Amino acid sequence: MSAVVERASGGVLAPRGFRAGSASAGIREHSSADDVALVVVDAAATAVAFLTANRFAAAPVQVARLSLAETGGRARAIVLNAGCANAGTGPAGLEAARQVIGAVAGRLGCHPAEVLPASTGLIGSALPTERVAGAVAGLSLSDAPEAGTAAARAIMTTDTRPKESAARVVVDGRPITVGGMAKGAGMIHPGMATMLAVVTTDAAVEAGTLRAVAGPIVERTFNQVSVDGDTSTNDTLYLLASGRAGGGPITAGDAADALATALDAVCTDLARQIAADGEGATRRIDVTVSGARDDTDARAAARAVAGSNLVKAAVHGADPNWGRIAAAAGRSGALLDPDLLRIWIGEVLTYAGGPCAHDPAAASAAMRGDVVAIRLDLGAGDGIGVAWGCDLSAEYVAINSEYAT
């Protein structure tokens, strides 16, 4: 991927061909903030989804699978809500999702299967279907950046800030833009898309190519984020491609590489934002693994370290406890050679086939910033991988002991 990628401003509305809107349907009991969002593409677009691997999949996930099978990878809109996961709701939950979809399809004059749903919030509560349908039928759609930010804000649950990103590449003289929004915060762990996210692009690309390009990127970005080890019932990443950048469909070669570069930039940025805003988090943890047997091993080791409660608690206390890092890598399943293993905390080498003489105060200082960099070399090959996590604080426990049931 040699294409030059530049950051762009805006989120899902950075690419051409999209509009967004949000409104309050009063789903949350004690809040009048917006809780429904709609992302619309001007004409039916290429659509690809990466959905939770959780067997207790929510109603919107079940509906999305059927709809994408029916359309073969086309969509006009994504409708999202916070405050209610519409999971564990049985046949009534499927019907609720379909009614909301019907309201959007009626408004846009498209087939219901072209409207893809996503929900986040409490499992088991019923969606107030009529209020949500009314809200999405009536909200204003706009292509102004503020509308995208408002949509990103509407899907927040325990997130403390909206998450947006955009990047641009030039292919054959044509700019192609990728934009995205996401929410994360809790029940965040790898296992096939790990949050709600919508990523848009104006590239012209068919579903098969888009999925092939995006698959490996999802593996090394969203699937490498861990907040608490709990894979959600609702995890969803939608990718929409409007084709408005023009040109023939991207199929392979330099153009596909360039699209991948921009997608990677947006997905990495959103993944990092999700990690940094984990429930109760005060610091992001970036774990970089090299010297693994292969990239899969490297990613597994990185994920184990970033997801270890003991490492997370040590980072919270700025305790440069390399033993916990080694132990987490050791249980990850990745091949490692204890005699060749090296562990850095920030720039401080703490272990190299045995404990290293080092200044613990310097290592501790490297754990006090907003981002704590942990690096391991497994001494087993050339594989590399990265994972992102966050520290474990008493606030995480407080949030999750008291989350309203």
List the catalytic residues. 194
371: contact with a second copy by CB under 8 A: no
Using rule CB under 8 A, residue 124 touches a second copy: yes
In 172-241, which ranges are continuous DSSP H helix?
Answer: 207-220
Q: What is the CA radius of gyration of the chain?
A: 21
Site string for a second copy, 282-321 (x = CB under 8 A): -------------------------xxxx--xx-xx-xxx
d(CA 230, CA 122): 14
Q: Please tell me whether residue 330 binds a second copy under the rule CB under 8 A.
A: yes
Q: Which is nearer to a second copy, 219 or 319 (CB)?
A: 319
Instruction: Let me know: does 374 contact 341? Beta carbons within 8 Å.
Output: no
CB of 58 to a second copy, least distance (A): 9
Q: Helix, strand, or coil here: 50?
A: strand
| Region of 104-112, 128-136, 225-233, 381-389 interacting with a second copy (CB under 8 A) | 225-233
Amino acid present at 192: M
Tokens of 108: 């846009």
Whichever of 164 and 228 has its CB closer to a second copy, that residue is: 228
54, 119, 149, 268: which one binds a second copy (CB under 8 A): 54
Kindly state the smallest distance separating residue 228's Cβ from a second copy, in Å.
4
Does 252 help bind a second copy (rule: CB under 8 A)? Answer: no
Least separation in angstroms between CB 113 and a second copy: 22
Residues in contact with 23: Cβ distance below 8 Å, sequence separation at least 6, in sequence order = 34, 36, 135, 136, 138, 139, 154
The DSSP secondary structure of 323-379, one letter per residue, reads HHHHHHHHHSS----TTT-EEEETTEEEEESSBPP--HHHHHHTTSSSEEEEEEE-S
**Which helix or strand (DSSP H or E) is residue 399 part of?**
helix 394-402
Least gap, CB of 294 to a second copy (angstroms): 15
By CB under 8 A, residue 2 contacts a second copy: no
Interacting residues toward a second copy by CB under 8 A: 53-57, 85, 87-92, 122-124, 186-187, 189, 191, 228-233, 307-310, 313-314, 316-317, 319-324, 326-331, 334-336, 338-339, 341, 351, 353-355, 360, 392-394, 396-403, 405
